């Protein structure tokens, strides 16, 4: 049996869940529903949902409570570990396919008044990282087209999995090392950007090195662009040069 059910909208008596906004409708009050964790996403990529502090955002109740008692100096712990445990449900949510967990460690002062600006900066660095990864995925698709591979989307998926695996430990180490009391935000964020761009660029180089002769020769394709058919040339070295330019332009 599924048991008894209650409306999931704004069920804030539940303190142990991450929330997401329901798509807004005209003349309807903003509503939140529980957000299911995607087992393919590292927890730090959803830092904005965990520690959201902007207007109309709703962090988990346990995070709000930790923030409140930290601000009142009731706890003096230096580090906080947030852990998420989630289930992947099967057909119609009648059974569980898998159970998984993840965690992130960071300085407790990030949840205090001192850390309010830091939260925004950390979210900005997560977004910056996502943009870098998107450029790597685009490179994977362009190289696939250059080599005559029709499975570019699968190549992009594989590239995403590999790069996030390589970014995972460095980002966690960077996040846990932030000290809001002593660190300069610009310097700390610049360190991460240098590290992230280096890892992504290195992956792009490996992708080109493994692409094969066909992709180096390249080919011309006819593609639709805004309703018009245009001819585009896809050559691996050109795609890589464009990739380098694009990742240096990300901000």
Residue 164 confidence class, pLDDT cut points 50, 70, 90:
very high
| Per-residue pLDDT at 55 | 64
Identify whether the C-beta of residue 116 lies closer than 8 Å to the C-beta of residue 185. no
Residue 39 confidence class, pLDDT cut points 50, 70, 90:
confident
The predicted-structure confidence for 210-240, as pLDDT tens digits, reads as follows 988 999 999 998 888 888 888 889 999 999 9
Answer yes or no: is pLDDT of 169 > 90: yes
Angstrom distance (rounded) from CA 30 to CA 17: 18
Residue 189 confidence class, pLDDT cut points 50, 70, 90:
very high
Q: What proportion of the chain, given as a percentage, has pLDDT over 70? A: 98
Mapped onto helix, strand or coil, the DSSP state of residue 73 is: coil
The rounded mean pLDDT for the chain is: 90
Q: Which two tokens stand for residue 181?
A: 């009391």
Q: Which of 5-14, 19-28, 71-80, 171-180 has the highest mean pLDDT?
A: 171-180
The predicted-structure confidence for 98-138, as pLDDT tens digits, reads as follows 888 999 999 999 999 888 899 999 999 999 999 999 999 99
| Per-residue pLDDT at 54 | 62
Residue 221 vs residue 198, higher pLDDT: 198
Compute the average pLDDT of residues 178-206.
Answer: 96
Residue 21 confidence class, pLDDT cut points 50, 70, 90:
confident
Q: What proportion of the chain, given as a percentage, has pLDDT over 90? A: 59
| Per-residue pLDDT at 6 | 81
Identify whether the C-beta of residue 176 lies closer than 8 Å to the C-beta of residue 106. yes
Residue 38 confidence class, pLDDT cut points 50, 70, 90:
confident
Mapped onto helix, strand or coil, the DSSP state of residue 88 is: strand
Q: Tell me the whole-structure pTM to 2 decimals.
A: 0.89
CA angle 20, 23, 25 (to 5 degrees): 140
Answer yes or no: is pLDDT of 151 > 70: yes
| Per-residue pLDDT at 27 | 76
Quick one: how far is CA 153 from the chain centroid?
Answer: 19
Q: Name residues whose C-beta falls within 8 Å of residue 161's C-beta, 6 or more positions apart in sequence.
A: 40
Answer yes or no: is pLDDT of 44 > 80: yes
């Amino acid at each position: 049996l599924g048991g008894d059910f209650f409306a999931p909208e704004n069920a804030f008596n539940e303190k142990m869940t991450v929330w997401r906004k329901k798509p807004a409708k005209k003349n309807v009050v903003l509503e939140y529903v529980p957000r299911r964790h995607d087992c393919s996403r590292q927890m730090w990529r959803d830092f904005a949902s965990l520690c959201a502090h902007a207007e109309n955002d709703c962090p988990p109740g346990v995070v709000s409570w930790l923030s409140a008692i930290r601000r009142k100096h009731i706890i003096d712990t230096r580090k906080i570990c947030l852990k998420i445990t989630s289930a992947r449900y099967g057909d119609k949510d009648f059974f569980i396919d898998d159970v998984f967990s993840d965690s992130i460690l960071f300085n407790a002062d990030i949840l205090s008044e001192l850390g309010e600006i830091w939260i925004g900066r950390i979210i900005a660095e997560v977004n910056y990282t996502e943009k870098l990864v998107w450029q790597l995925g685009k490179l994977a698709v362009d190289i696939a087209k250059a080599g005559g591979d029709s499975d570019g989307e699968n190549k992009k998926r594989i590239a995403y999995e590999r790069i996030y695996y390589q970014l995972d430990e460095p980002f966690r180490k960077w996040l846990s090392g932030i000290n809001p009391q002593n660190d300069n935000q610009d310097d700390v964020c610049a360190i991460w950007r240098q590290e992230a761009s280096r890892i992504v660029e290195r992956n792009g180089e490996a992708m080109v090195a493994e692409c094969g002769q066909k992709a180096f020769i390249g080919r011309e394709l006819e593609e639709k662009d805004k309703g018009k058919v245009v001819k585009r040339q896809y050559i691996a070295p050109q795609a890589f040069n464009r990739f380098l330019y694009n990742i240096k332009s990300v901000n």
